């Protein structure tokens, strides 16, 4: 399986202790250019307090392309606070040159009806269009999530008649019990705007897995992320793969270990 290296992206979650410049340097050393920035890093800010001009100077220096800001949460429970935060994130995405904003559903064991999720998409879509930012809806496979199914999210986007696309996350695909029944026959591969990759070696029951178990890819990965990617390639996916591990052990990884882990994961995908 040969995937063009320009299709690989690094989510900043893999390097929680690195400054933005050090993170960009690491990505550049790997011969890569695409990154996902986040609004849930220790500093609490997408740009760590750098101005838009300062950040753009760094992206120019290291030839970095910001694919997304991750994430607007919970996008499907609209209130004044959510709309204010959406506006701020969209403005920031536009200022720093990010292409897209990831949108995550409520993940707290509270039901949100499909119609409410559809209405939220319709309410948010004009704001995304105003700023020229792509909306990427990411179903979360956790049992407490209000939107677990990629296929259902695809259907709601179509019914809402909004230009959003999907984030397929191999971890969340694995967590959702009906994914393999729904996905192969019903997914429109053209609707996938981004794929998140991680690996899990923990053997506890699937329903007990959390973000804490998410590391990088390996031969022992219970998510079978490499197999998931091979199927996506066979189905014709031509988009970006972003590595998004979450475990707290990442805080102990040195830059050299981060690079080693990324190189090894890419090697597994290219085998």
Domains of the chain, residue spans: 5-270
pLDDT at 43: 84
| Neighbouring C-alpha atoms within 13 Å toward the C-beta of 120 | 27
| Dist. CA 52–CA 60, nearest whole Å | 12
Confidence band of 44 (pLDDT split at 50, 70, 90): confident
Predicted confidence (pLDDT) at residue 1 exceeds the cutoff of 80: no
Predicted confidence (pLDDT) at residue 148 exceeds the cutoff of 90: yes
Predicted confidence (pLDDT) at residue 91 exceeds the cutoff of 80: yes
| Dist. CA 78–CA 123, nearest whole Å | 9
**Burial class for 115, CB neighbours closer than 10 Å (0-12, 13-18, 19+):** exposed
What mean pLDDT comes out for the span 237-242?
A: 98
Contact of 15 with 36, CB cutoff 8 Å: no
**Burial class for 93, CB neighbours closer than 10 Å (0-12, 13-18, 19+):** buried
Percent share of the chain, pLDDT over 70: 100
Q: Say which residues have a Cβ less than 8 Å from residue 227's Cβ, sequence separation at least 6.
A: none
Give per-residue pLDDT as tens, 9-43: 999 999 999 999 999 999 999 999 999 999 999 88
Confidence band of 171 (pLDDT split at 50, 70, 90): very high
What mean pLDDT comes out for the span 244-250?
A: 97
Give per-residue pLDDT as tens, 47-57: 999 999 999 99
Q: ∠ at Cα 164 (212, 77), nearest 5°?
A: 60
Contact of 64 with 12, CB cutoff 8 Å: no
**Burial class for 98, CB neighbours closer than 10 Å (0-12, 13-18, 19+):** buried
Single pTM value for the model: 0.98
pLDDT at 271: 87
What mean pLDDT comes out for the span 41-68?
A: 96
What mean pLDDT comes out for the span 171-199?
A: 97
Residue 177 per-residue DSSP state: T
| Dist. CA 120–CA 114, nearest whole Å | 10
Residue 137 per-residue DSSP state: E
pLDDT at 251: 96
Check if CATH label 3.30.70.560 holds for domain 5-270. Answer: no
Backbone phi and psi for residue 161, each to the nearest 5 degrees, phi listed first: 55, 50
pLDDT at 213: 98
Confidence band of 95 (pLDDT split at 50, 70, 90): very high
């Amino acid at each position: 399986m040969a995937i063009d290296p320009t299709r690989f992206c690094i989510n900043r979650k893999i390097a929680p202790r690195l400054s933005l410049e050090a993170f960009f340097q690491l990505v550049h050393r790997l011969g890569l250019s695409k990154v996902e920035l986040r609004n849930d890093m220790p500093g609490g800010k997408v740009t760590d307090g750098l101005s838009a001009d300062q950040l753009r100077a760094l992206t120019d220096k290291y030839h970095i392309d910001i694919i997304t800001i991750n994430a607007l949460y919970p996008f499907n429970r609209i209130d004044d606070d959510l709309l204010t935060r959406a506006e701020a994130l969209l403005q920031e995405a536009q200022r720093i040159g990010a292409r897209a904003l990831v949108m995550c559903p409520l993940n707290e064991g509270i039901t949100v009806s499909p119609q409410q999720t559809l209405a939220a998409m319709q309410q948010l879509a004009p704001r995304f269009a105003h700023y020229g930012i792509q909306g990427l809806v990411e179903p979360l496979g956790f049992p407490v999530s209000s939107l677990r199914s990629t296929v259902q999210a695809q259907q709601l986007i179509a019914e809402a008649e909004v230009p959003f696309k999907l984030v397929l996350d191999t971890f969340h695909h694995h967590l959702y019990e009906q994914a393999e029944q729904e996905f192969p026959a019903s997914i429109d591969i053209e609707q996938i705007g981004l794929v998140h990759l991680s690996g899990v070696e923990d053997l506890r029951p699937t329903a007990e897995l959390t973000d804490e178990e998410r590391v990088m890819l390996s031969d022992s990965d219970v998510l079978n992320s490499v197999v998931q990617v091979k199927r996506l390639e066979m189905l014709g996916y031509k988009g970006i793969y972003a590595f998004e591990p979450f475990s707290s052990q990442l805080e102990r990884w040195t830059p050299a270990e981060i690079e080693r882990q990324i190189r090894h994961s890419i090697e597994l995908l290219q085998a």
